Structure 1
Amino acid sequence: MRIGLTGGIGSGKSTVAQALVSLGGCRLVDTDAISRALTQPGGAAMPIIAQRFGAGFVTADGALDRPAMRALAFQDPSARQALEAILHPLIGEETERQALLADPGQRVVFDVPLLVESGRWRQKLHRVLVVDCEESTQVQRVMQRSGLDAAQVRAIMAQQASRAQRRSAADAVVYNDGLSLDQLHQEVAALLTSPLF
Protein backbone atom coordinates (compact mmCIF):
# COMPACT_ATOMS: atom_id res chain seq x y z
CA MET A 1 0.00 0.00 0.00
CA ARG A 2 1.51 3.30 -1.16
CA ILE A 3 0.02 6.28 0.69
CA GLY A 4 0.68 9.86 -0.33
CA LEU A 5 0.65 12.28 2.60
CA THR A 6 0.33 16.00 1.97
CA GLY A 7 -0.89 19.23 3.55
CA GLY A 8 -0.21 22.92 3.47
CA ILE A 9 2.62 24.53 5.40
CA GLY A 10 1.82 24.49 9.12
CA SER A 11 -0.91 21.86 8.78
CA GLY A 12 0.85 19.35 11.03
CA LYS A 13 1.74 16.97 8.22
CA SER A 14 5.10 16.00 9.75
CA THR A 15 3.43 15.15 13.05
CA VAL A 16 0.93 12.92 11.24
CA ALA A 17 3.80 11.30 9.30
CA GLN A 18 5.56 10.38 12.54
CA ALA A 19 2.30 9.03 13.97
CA LEU A 20 1.85 6.80 10.91
CA VAL A 21 5.32 5.38 11.58
CA SER A 22 4.96 4.97 15.35
CA LEU A 23 1.34 3.76 15.41
CA GLY A 24 1.10 1.92 12.11
CA GLY A 25 4.62 0.68 11.47
CA CYS A 26 4.66 2.46 8.12
CA ARG A 27 7.90 3.14 6.23
CA LEU A 28 8.23 6.89 5.74
CA VAL A 29 9.78 8.35 2.60
CA ASP A 30 10.19 12.10 3.20
CA THR A 31 10.68 13.94 -0.09
CA ASP A 32 11.59 17.18 1.72
CA ALA A 33 14.38 15.42 3.60
CA ILE A 34 15.60 13.90 0.32
CA SER A 35 15.57 17.35 -1.32
CA ARG A 36 17.54 18.83 1.59
CA ALA A 37 20.12 16.01 1.41
CA LEU A 38 20.57 16.61 -2.32
CA THR A 39 21.30 20.30 -1.68
CA GLN A 40 23.61 19.91 1.34
CA PRO A 41 27.40 20.13 0.98
CA GLY A 42 28.40 17.17 -1.17
CA GLY A 43 24.78 16.62 -2.26
CA ALA A 44 24.28 15.10 -5.70
CA ALA A 45 22.40 18.16 -7.00
CA MET A 46 24.97 20.77 -6.00
CA PRO A 47 27.39 20.54 -8.96
CA ILE A 48 24.46 20.88 -11.40
CA ILE A 49 22.93 23.77 -9.42
CA ALA A 50 26.29 25.60 -9.26
CA GLN A 51 26.74 25.17 -13.01
CA ARG A 52 23.20 26.34 -13.83
CA PHE A 53 22.81 29.23 -11.37
CA GLY A 54 26.38 30.23 -10.51
CA ALA A 55 28.44 30.46 -7.34
CA GLY A 56 26.14 33.14 -5.90
CA PHE A 57 23.62 30.43 -5.03
CA VAL A 58 26.11 28.20 -3.22
CA THR A 59 27.15 28.85 0.39
CA ALA A 60 30.79 28.85 1.50
CA ASP A 61 30.46 25.25 2.71
CA GLY A 62 29.00 24.08 -0.60
CA ALA A 63 25.27 23.90 0.17
CA LEU A 64 22.40 25.55 -1.67
CA ASP A 65 21.90 29.15 -0.51
CA ARG A 66 18.22 28.68 0.25
CA PRO A 67 17.30 32.32 1.00
CA ALA A 68 18.95 33.49 -2.25
CA MET A 69 17.24 30.74 -4.28
CA ARG A 70 13.87 31.38 -2.61
CA ALA A 71 14.10 35.08 -3.47
CA LEU A 72 15.01 34.31 -7.08
CA ALA A 73 12.27 31.69 -7.46
CA PHE A 74 9.61 34.08 -6.13
CA GLN A 75 10.48 36.76 -8.67
CA ASP A 76 11.37 34.48 -11.59
CA PRO A 77 9.15 31.41 -12.15
CA SER A 78 11.53 30.11 -14.83
CA ALA A 79 14.29 29.86 -12.19
CA ARG A 80 12.01 27.75 -10.02
CA GLN A 81 11.23 25.53 -13.01
CA ALA A 82 14.94 25.15 -13.76
CA LEU A 83 15.65 24.16 -10.15
CA GLU A 84 12.77 21.67 -10.20
CA ALA A 85 14.07 20.19 -13.47
CA ILE A 86 17.34 19.47 -11.65
CA LEU A 87 15.89 18.23 -8.37
CA HIS A 88 12.76 16.28 -9.33
CA PRO A 89 14.46 13.43 -11.24
CA LEU A 90 17.01 13.00 -8.43
CA ILE A 91 14.26 13.10 -5.78
CA GLY A 92 12.27 10.56 -7.80
CA GLU A 93 15.19 8.13 -7.97
CA GLU A 94 15.94 8.33 -4.25
CA THR A 95 12.23 8.14 -3.36
CA GLU A 96 11.84 4.84 -5.20
CA ARG A 97 15.10 3.51 -3.77
CA GLN A 98 13.85 4.17 -0.22
CA ALA A 99 10.39 2.74 -0.96
CA LEU A 100 11.97 -0.53 -2.10
CA LEU A 101 13.47 -0.93 1.39
CA ALA A 102 9.99 -1.56 2.82
CA ASP A 103 9.31 -5.00 4.26
CA PRO A 104 6.81 -7.20 2.39
CA GLY A 105 3.32 -5.98 3.24
CA GLN A 106 4.58 -2.83 4.99
CA ARG A 107 2.66 0.34 4.12
CA VAL A 108 4.85 3.04 2.57
CA VAL A 109 3.98 6.67 3.31
CA PHE A 110 5.34 9.26 0.88
CA ASP A 111 5.45 12.65 2.62
CA VAL A 112 5.11 15.05 -0.34
CA PRO A 113 4.41 18.73 0.48
CA LEU A 114 3.47 19.61 -3.13
CA LEU A 115 1.75 16.33 -4.04
CA VAL A 116 -1.37 18.00 -5.45
CA GLU A 117 0.59 20.72 -7.24
CA SER A 118 2.98 18.31 -8.97
CA GLY A 119 0.25 16.46 -10.87
CA ARG A 120 2.50 13.43 -11.36
CA TRP A 121 2.16 11.72 -8.00
CA ARG A 122 -1.41 10.47 -8.05
CA GLN A 123 -0.81 7.56 -10.45
CA LYS A 124 2.01 6.27 -8.20
CA LEU A 125 -0.20 5.97 -5.13
CA HIS A 126 -3.03 3.81 -3.83
CA ARG A 127 -4.37 6.49 -1.46
CA VAL A 128 -3.89 10.19 -0.74
CA LEU A 129 -4.15 11.43 2.85
CA VAL A 130 -4.45 15.18 3.38
CA VAL A 131 -3.76 16.99 6.65
CA ASP A 132 -5.97 20.06 6.77
CA CYS A 133 -6.55 23.03 9.08
CA GLU A 134 -7.79 26.61 8.91
CA GLU A 135 -5.52 29.06 7.08
CA SER A 136 -5.32 31.28 10.18
CA THR A 137 -3.99 28.27 12.11
CA GLN A 138 -1.35 27.64 9.41
CA VAL A 139 -0.18 31.26 9.62
CA GLN A 140 -0.02 31.18 13.44
CA ARG A 141 1.91 27.88 13.57
CA VAL A 142 4.47 28.88 10.92
CA MET A 143 5.04 32.30 12.50
CA GLN A 144 5.67 30.64 15.88
CA ARG A 145 8.22 28.14 14.56
CA SER A 146 10.00 30.11 11.82
CA GLY A 147 10.12 33.78 12.74
CA LEU A 148 8.46 34.76 9.45
CA ASP A 149 5.75 37.42 9.58
CA ALA A 150 2.15 36.82 8.50
CA ALA A 151 2.63 38.35 5.04
CA GLN A 152 5.63 36.10 4.35
CA VAL A 153 3.72 33.00 5.47
CA ARG A 154 0.72 33.94 3.31
CA ALA A 155 3.05 34.45 0.32
CA ILE A 156 4.32 30.88 0.76
CA MET A 157 0.75 29.61 1.12
CA ALA A 158 -0.24 31.42 -2.09
CA GLN A 159 2.37 29.31 -3.95
CA GLN A 160 0.71 26.10 -2.72
CA ALA A 161 -2.55 24.43 -3.70
CA SER A 162 -5.63 25.78 -1.92
CA ARG A 163 -7.28 23.85 0.89
CA ALA A 164 -10.14 23.02 -1.46
CA GLN A 165 -7.78 21.66 -4.13
CA ARG A 166 -6.00 19.44 -1.60
CA ARG A 167 -9.23 18.18 -0.08
CA SER A 168 -10.67 17.35 -3.50
CA ALA A 169 -7.59 15.19 -4.23
CA ALA A 170 -7.88 13.30 -0.93
CA ASP A 171 -9.10 9.80 -0.22
CA ALA A 172 -9.09 10.76 3.47
CA VAL A 173 -8.62 14.01 5.42
CA VAL A 174 -7.27 14.53 8.94
CA TYR A 175 -8.65 17.85 10.17
CA ASN A 176 -5.88 18.99 12.51
CA ASP A 177 -7.30 22.09 14.13
CA GLY A 178 -7.89 22.38 17.86
CA LEU A 179 -6.72 18.82 18.50
CA SER A 180 -4.33 17.78 21.25
CA LEU A 181 -1.49 15.49 20.25
CA ASP A 182 -3.35 12.56 21.83
CA GLN A 183 -6.49 13.38 19.86
CA LEU A 184 -4.48 13.64 16.64
CA HIS A 185 -2.94 10.23 17.36
CA GLN A 186 -6.44 8.80 17.90
CA GLU A 187 -7.48 10.16 14.48
CA VAL A 188 -4.44 8.53 12.84
CA ALA A 189 -4.99 5.23 14.68
CA ALA A 190 -8.61 5.16 13.49
CA LEU A 191 -7.51 5.77 9.91
CA LEU A 192 -4.96 2.97 10.06
CA THR A 193 -7.66 0.45 11.01
CA SER A 194 -10.18 1.69 8.43
CA PRO A 195 -10.85 -0.40 5.31
CA LEU A 196 -9.47 2.48 3.22
CA PHE A 197 -5.94 1.86 4.51
Structure 2
Amino acid sequence: MRDENRKGFAIGLMGGIGSGKSFVLEVMEKEYGFKIIKTDDVSRNQMQPGEAVFNSVVEAFGEGILDEEGFIDRKKLAGIIYADDAKRELLDELTHPPVIEEVDRQIRELKEGEVLVAESALIVDCNIMDHFDSIWLVEAPLEDRLSRLTGKRKITREHALSIMENQLSDEEYEKHADEIIKNPDFKDVNDKFMMRNMAVDFVMKQLQALKEKYGL
Protein backbone atom coordinates (compact mmCIF):
# COMPACT_ATOMS: atom_id res chain seq x y z
CA MET A 1 0.00 0.00 0.00
CA ARG A 2 1.32 3.41 -0.96
CA ASP A 3 2.80 5.40 1.92
CA GLU A 4 1.66 8.96 1.25
CA ASN A 5 4.63 10.35 3.19
CA ARG A 6 7.13 8.46 1.07
CA LYS A 7 9.11 10.60 -1.35
CA GLY A 8 10.40 7.86 -3.64
CA PHE A 9 8.91 4.66 -5.04
CA ALA A 10 9.60 1.20 -3.60
CA ILE A 11 9.29 -2.00 -5.64
CA GLY A 12 9.38 -5.48 -4.19
CA LEU A 13 10.87 -7.94 -6.70
CA MET A 14 10.35 -11.67 -6.36
CA GLY A 15 10.55 -14.86 -8.39
CA GLY A 16 11.61 -18.47 -8.23
CA ILE A 17 15.18 -19.70 -8.46
CA GLY A 18 16.57 -19.44 -11.98
CA SER A 19 13.93 -16.97 -13.12
CA GLY A 20 16.64 -14.38 -13.77
CA LYS A 21 15.96 -11.84 -11.04
CA SER A 22 19.62 -10.79 -10.94
CA PHE A 23 19.57 -10.11 -14.69
CA VAL A 24 16.44 -7.98 -14.38
CA LEU A 25 17.98 -6.11 -11.44
CA GLU A 26 21.11 -5.46 -13.51
CA VAL A 27 19.00 -3.93 -16.29
CA MET A 28 17.05 -1.84 -13.78
CA GLU A 29 20.24 -0.48 -12.24
CA LYS A 30 22.32 0.11 -15.37
CA GLU A 31 19.61 1.31 -17.75
CA TYR A 32 17.31 3.20 -15.38
CA GLY A 33 19.41 4.06 -12.34
CA PHE A 34 17.13 2.29 -9.87
CA LYS A 35 18.59 1.66 -6.41
CA ILE A 36 18.98 -2.07 -5.78
CA ILE A 37 18.93 -4.03 -2.54
CA LYS A 38 19.12 -7.82 -2.20
CA THR A 39 18.03 -9.12 1.17
CA ASP A 40 20.39 -12.10 0.86
CA ASP A 41 23.28 -9.62 0.75
CA VAL A 42 21.85 -7.66 3.68
CA SER A 43 21.57 -10.84 5.74
CA ARG A 44 25.09 -11.90 4.81
CA ASN A 45 26.48 -8.54 5.95
CA GLN A 46 24.52 -8.64 9.19
CA MET A 47 25.99 -12.05 10.01
CA GLN A 48 29.58 -10.81 9.91
CA PRO A 49 31.61 -10.85 13.16
CA GLY A 50 30.85 -7.89 15.39
CA GLU A 51 27.30 -7.43 14.12
CA ALA A 52 24.37 -7.85 16.52
CA VAL A 53 22.79 -10.57 14.36
CA PHE A 54 26.08 -12.49 14.30
CA ASN A 55 26.22 -12.42 18.09
CA SER A 56 22.63 -13.60 18.52
CA VAL A 57 23.05 -16.44 16.00
CA VAL A 58 26.26 -17.69 17.62
CA GLU A 59 24.66 -17.48 21.04
CA ALA A 60 21.69 -19.52 19.82
CA PHE A 61 23.57 -22.17 17.82
CA GLY A 62 26.94 -22.30 19.54
CA GLU A 63 30.50 -21.63 18.43
CA GLY A 64 30.48 -24.93 16.55
CA ILE A 65 28.99 -23.08 13.57
CA LEU A 66 32.12 -20.93 13.23
CA ASP A 67 34.99 -21.65 10.87
CA GLU A 68 38.68 -21.42 11.78
CA GLU A 69 38.72 -17.67 11.15
CA GLY A 70 35.73 -16.96 13.36
CA PHE A 71 33.15 -16.46 10.63
CA ILE A 72 29.82 -18.26 10.50
CA ASP A 73 30.18 -21.34 8.30
CA ARG A 74 26.99 -21.11 6.26
CA LYS A 75 27.20 -24.75 5.19
CA LYS A 76 27.42 -25.93 8.79
CA LEU A 77 24.51 -23.71 9.76
CA ALA A 78 22.47 -24.88 6.78
CA GLY A 79 23.07 -28.50 7.76
CA ILE A 80 21.66 -27.77 11.22
CA ILE A 81 18.55 -25.86 10.19
CA TYR A 82 17.56 -28.14 7.31
CA ALA A 83 17.60 -31.10 9.68
CA ASP A 84 15.47 -29.40 12.33
CA ASP A 85 12.43 -27.24 11.54
CA ALA A 86 12.45 -25.70 15.02
CA LYS A 87 16.03 -24.50 14.56
CA ARG A 88 15.23 -23.18 11.10
CA GLU A 89 12.35 -21.20 12.57
CA LEU A 90 14.67 -19.91 15.31
CA LEU A 91 17.19 -18.70 12.73
CA ASP A 92 14.40 -16.98 10.81
CA GLU A 93 13.26 -15.24 14.00
CA LEU A 94 16.78 -13.97 14.62
CA THR A 95 17.64 -12.89 11.09
CA HIS A 96 14.47 -11.82 9.27
CA PRO A 97 13.39 -8.82 11.41
CA PRO A 98 16.77 -7.02 11.13
CA VAL A 99 16.76 -7.55 7.36
CA ILE A 100 13.26 -6.14 7.01
CA GLU A 101 14.22 -3.23 9.26
CA GLU A 102 17.15 -2.40 6.96
CA VAL A 103 14.94 -2.54 3.86
CA ASP A 104 12.43 -0.24 5.54
CA ARG A 105 15.22 2.15 6.52
CA GLN A 106 16.42 2.43 2.94
CA ILE A 107 12.86 2.96 1.73
CA ARG A 108 12.33 5.76 4.26
CA GLU A 109 15.49 7.49 3.07
CA LEU A 110 14.41 7.62 -0.58
CA LYS A 111 14.46 11.08 -2.08
CA GLU A 112 11.90 12.56 -4.44
CA GLY A 113 11.92 10.71 -7.75
CA GLU A 114 14.18 7.87 -6.57
CA VAL A 115 13.18 4.25 -7.17
CA LEU A 116 14.33 1.40 -4.95
CA VAL A 117 13.96 -2.25 -5.90
CA ALA A 118 14.24 -4.83 -3.11
CA GLU A 119 14.73 -8.40 -4.32
CA SER A 120 13.65 -10.77 -1.59
CA ALA A 121 12.07 -14.10 -0.80
CA LEU A 122 10.79 -12.49 2.40
CA ILE A 123 8.15 -10.45 0.55
CA VAL A 124 5.67 -13.31 0.67
CA ASP A 125 7.31 -15.47 3.35
CA CYS A 126 7.13 -12.64 5.90
CA ASN A 127 4.01 -11.01 4.44
CA ILE A 128 5.61 -7.61 3.87
CA MET A 129 3.85 -6.81 0.59
CA ASP A 130 2.42 -3.63 2.10
CA HIS A 131 5.93 -2.28 2.71
CA PHE A 132 6.17 -1.57 -1.02
CA ASP A 133 4.34 0.57 -3.54
CA SER A 134 4.21 -2.27 -6.04
CA ILE A 135 5.18 -5.95 -6.21
CA TRP A 136 6.78 -7.23 -9.41
CA LEU A 137 7.31 -10.89 -10.27
CA VAL A 138 9.98 -12.27 -12.62
CA GLU A 139 9.01 -15.41 -14.51
CA ALA A 140 10.80 -17.67 -16.98
CA PRO A 141 9.91 -21.01 -18.62
CA LEU A 142 10.84 -24.05 -16.55
CA GLU A 143 13.40 -25.37 -19.03
CA ASP A 144 15.09 -21.97 -19.21
CA ARG A 145 15.33 -21.87 -15.42
CA LEU A 146 16.79 -25.37 -15.31
CA SER A 147 19.27 -24.54 -18.07
CA ARG A 148 20.51 -21.49 -16.15
CA LEU A 149 20.91 -23.44 -12.93
CA THR A 150 22.66 -26.45 -14.45
CA GLY A 151 24.85 -24.20 -16.60
CA LYS A 152 25.88 -21.10 -14.69
CA ARG A 153 25.43 -22.43 -11.16
CA LYS A 154 26.53 -26.00 -11.89
CA ILE A 155 23.53 -27.41 -10.01
CA THR A 156 22.27 -30.83 -11.06
CA ARG A 157 18.85 -30.95 -12.66
CA GLU A 158 17.54 -33.08 -9.79
CA HIS A 159 18.83 -30.64 -7.17
CA ALA A 160 17.35 -27.69 -9.06
CA LEU A 161 13.95 -29.37 -9.26
CA SER A 162 14.15 -30.18 -5.55
CA ILE A 163 14.78 -26.52 -4.71
CA MET A 164 11.87 -25.44 -6.92
CA GLU A 165 9.54 -27.89 -5.21
CA ASN A 166 10.27 -26.17 -1.88
CA GLN A 167 9.53 -22.71 -3.29
CA LEU A 168 6.25 -21.11 -4.22
CA SER A 169 5.03 -21.89 -7.73
CA ASP A 170 4.62 -19.10 -10.28
CA GLU A 171 0.86 -19.41 -9.82
CA GLU A 172 1.20 -18.85 -6.08
CA TYR A 173 3.57 -15.91 -6.59
CA GLU A 174 1.14 -14.37 -9.08
CA LYS A 175 -1.51 -14.06 -6.36
CA HIS A 176 0.70 -11.46 -4.67
CA ALA A 177 2.12 -9.71 -7.74
CA ASP A 178 0.98 -6.43 -9.26
CA GLU A 179 3.11 -6.89 -12.37
CA ILE A 180 4.82 -9.80 -14.15
CA ILE A 181 8.10 -9.49 -16.05
CA LYS A 182 8.75 -12.30 -18.52
CA ASN A 183 12.42 -13.27 -18.78
CA PRO A 184 12.94 -16.11 -21.27
CA ASP A 185 16.19 -17.21 -22.88
CA PHE A 186 16.69 -16.85 -26.61
CA LYS A 187 18.23 -20.26 -27.13
CA ASP A 188 17.58 -20.28 -30.88
CA VAL A 189 20.25 -17.55 -31.23
CA ASN A 190 23.74 -19.03 -31.41
CA ASP A 191 25.68 -15.81 -30.83
CA LYS A 192 25.92 -15.20 -27.05
CA PHE A 193 26.41 -11.45 -27.47
CA MET A 194 23.33 -11.19 -29.65
CA MET A 195 21.40 -13.44 -27.27
CA ARG A 196 22.16 -11.14 -24.35
CA ASN A 197 21.23 -8.02 -26.32
CA MET A 198 17.91 -9.59 -27.27
CA ALA A 199 17.27 -10.50 -23.64
CA VAL A 200 18.11 -6.96 -22.49
CA ASP A 201 15.85 -5.42 -25.13
CA PHE A 202 13.02 -7.81 -24.24
CA VAL A 203 13.19 -6.91 -20.54
CA MET A 204 13.68 -3.19 -21.21
CA LYS A 205 10.49 -2.99 -23.28
CA GLN A 206 8.54 -4.38 -20.34
CA LEU A 207 10.29 -2.12 -17.84
CA GLN A 208 9.74 0.94 -20.00
CA ALA A 209 6.02 0.21 -20.11
CA LEU A 210 5.96 -0.18 -16.33
CA LYS A 211 7.93 3.05 -15.84
CA GLU A 212 5.36 4.90 -17.89
CA LYS A 213 2.47 3.19 -16.10
CA TYR A 214 3.77 4.20 -12.66
CA GLY A 215 5.24 7.53 -13.69
CA LEU A 216 8.76 6.56 -12.65
Q: TM-score, normalised by structure 2?
A: 0.81
Go from structure 1 to structure 2 and tell me whether the alpha carbon gap of 1:70 and 1:157 turns closer, same or farther (over 3 Å shift): farther
Deviation at 1:64, TM superposition (A): 2.2
Q: Is the 8 A contact 1:23 1:189 kept in 2?
A: no
Q: Which amino acid aligns with 1:148?
A: I
Q: Map 1:94-113 to 2 at 5 A.
A: 94-113=102-121
Between Structure 1 and Structure 2, whose CA radius of gyration is higher?
Answer: 2
Establish whether residue 121 from structure 1 lines up as the match of residue 153 from structure 2.
Answer: no
Residue among 12, 26, 30 paired with 1:18: 26
Residue among 206, 209, 213 paired with 1:187: 206
Alignment partners' CA distance in 2, 1:61 and 1:43: 16
Establish whether residue 145 from structure 1 lines up as the match of residue 152 from structure 2.
Answer: yes
Q: Deviations over 1:45-85 (max 9, x none)?
A: 21111111112222222322111222222222211111111
- Match of residue 76 from structure 1: 84
Alignment partners' CA distance in 2, 1:142 and 1:88: 26
Give the length in aligned residue pairs. Answer: 196
**Which structure 1 residue ranges, 5 or more long, are not aligned?**
none
Establish whether residue 167 from structure 1 lines up as the match of residue 189 from structure 2.
Answer: no
**Which structure 2 residue ranges, 5 or more long, are not aligned?**
1-8, 187-198
Establish whether residue 37 from structure 1 lines up as the match of residue 48 from structure 2.
Answer: no
- Match of residue 27 from structure 1: 35
Deviation at 1:37, TM superposition (A): 0.6
Alignment partners' CA distance in 1, 2:10 and 2:201: 25
Q: Which moved more, 1:186-195 or 1:121-130?
A: 186-195
Q: Deviations over 1:144-178 (max 9, x none)?
A: 22222122222222222111111221111011113
Residue 52 of structure 1 aligns to a residue whose secondary structure is helix
Q: Deviations over 1:20-64 (max 9, x none)?
A: 223333222221110111123444321111111112222222322
Q: Is the 8 A contact 1:40 1:62 kept in 2?
A: no
Q: Which amino acid aligns with 1:164?
A: E
Go from structure 1 to structure 2 and tell me whether the alpha carbon gap of 1:162 and 1:45 turns closer, same or farther (over 3 Å shift): same
Q: CA RMSD in A?
A: 2.0
Residue 45 of structure 1 aligns to a residue whose secondary structure is helix
Alignment partners' CA distance in 2, 1:63 and 1:26: 32
Residue among 53, 64, 74 paired with 1:66: 74
Establish whether residue 134 from structure 1 lines up as the match of residue 141 from structure 2.
Answer: yes
- Match of residue 6 from structure 1: 14
Residue 75 of structure 1 aligns to a residue whose secondary structure is coil
Q: TM-score, normalised by structure 1?
A: 0.88
